[in-house]
């Protein structure tokens, strides 16, 4: 009886080993086929991507060209309407020249204002460097006192922040750090 069970077990093991060997061959063959198909698919995907990229760049160029054409037509129509509305017999070139002169004068004004802003910013930076740190301490203690008084009056943090022109976070910070 034991011998029969051992023979059946060995036979089952042998048939299973044979089946596994066949499947390995089939699996490796299927894997090689799949790899070659993947390579072909990847190549096709690369080709399609490059085609789409070319198409998209062409479309972008066409869109930009259409925008430029549409913009120039809009400007020409706008200029013609302004000339017709004012009933002035000025040629388009003269009208464009006057507009260019106005734009140049506006540019000069803006440039001067930017220069003045730069000087003002430099002055403010120098004043800030020269300022005494003790002034900051005094202003902080004044803020603390003002916040303390306003909280004593029963105002909310938002109303205190609005009244003192400081942030709500600063009010909360003063409340938590200094007033406890």
Confidence of residue 167 (pLDDT cuts 50, 70, 90): confident
40-77 residues labelled b (16+ CB within 10 A) or e (exposed): eeeeeeeeeeeeeeeeeeeeeeeeeeeeeeeeeeeeee
Tokens coding 1: 């009886």
Looking at the chain, how many residues does it have? 180
Q: What is the pLDDT of residue 136?
A: 52
Alpha-carbon torsion, ordered 117, 121, 127, 128, to 10 deg: 150
- Average pLDDT rounded to a whole number, residues 50-54: 84
pLDDT band at 165 (very low <50, low <70, confident <90, very high): confident
State the pLDDT at residue 171: 85
Distance between CA 179 and CA 159 in Å, rounded? 18
Report the predicted TM-score, pTM, of the whole model to 2 decimal places. Answer: 0.27
pLDDT tens digits, 125-149: 676 666 555 555 556 777 888 888 8
Most confident residue range from 16-25, 69-78, 112-121, 152-161: 152-161
Residue 164 has pLDDT above 60, yes or no: yes
pLDDT of residue 12: 95
pLDDT of residue 87: 47
Q: How far apart are CA 126 and CA 121, in angstroms?
A: 9
For the chain, give the mean pLDDT. 76
Q: Do residues 157 and 171 touch, judged by C-beta distance below 8 A?
A: yes
Provide DSSP, 127-144.
Answer: HHHHS-HHHHHHHHHHHH
- Top pLDDT among 70 and 163 is at 163
The per-residue pLDDT for 55 is 84
Residue listed under structure tokens 């085609």: 51
H-run or E-run covering 1: none
Q: What is the pLDDT of residues 31-41, one digit of tens each?
A: 787 777 777 77
Question: What is the tens place of the pLDDT at every residue in 7-22?
Answer: 999 999 999 998 887 7
Statement: residue 89 has pLDDT above 60: no
């Amino acid at each position: 009886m034991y011998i029969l069970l051992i023979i059946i077990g060995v036979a089952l093991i042998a048939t299973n080993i044979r089946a596994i060997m066949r499947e390995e061959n089939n699996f490796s063959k299927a894997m090689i086929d799949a790899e070659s198909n993947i390579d072909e698919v990847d190549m096709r995907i690369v080709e399609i991507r490059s085609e789409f990229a070319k198409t998209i760049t062409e479309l972008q160029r066409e869109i930009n060209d259409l925008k430029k054409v549409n913009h120039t037509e809009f400007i020409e129509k706008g200029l013609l309407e302004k000339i017709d509305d004012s009933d002035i017999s000025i040629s388009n070139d003269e009208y464009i020249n006057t507009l260019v002169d106005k734009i140049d004068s506006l540019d000069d004004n803006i440039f001067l204002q930017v220069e003045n802003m730069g000087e003002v910013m430099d002055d403010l930076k120098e004043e800030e460097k020269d300022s005494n740190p003790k002034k900051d301490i005094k202003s902080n203690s004044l803020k603390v006192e003002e916040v303390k008084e306003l909280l004593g009056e029963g105002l909310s943090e938002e109303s205190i922040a609005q009244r003192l022109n400081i942030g709500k976070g600063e009010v909360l910070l003063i409340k938590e750090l200094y007033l406890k």
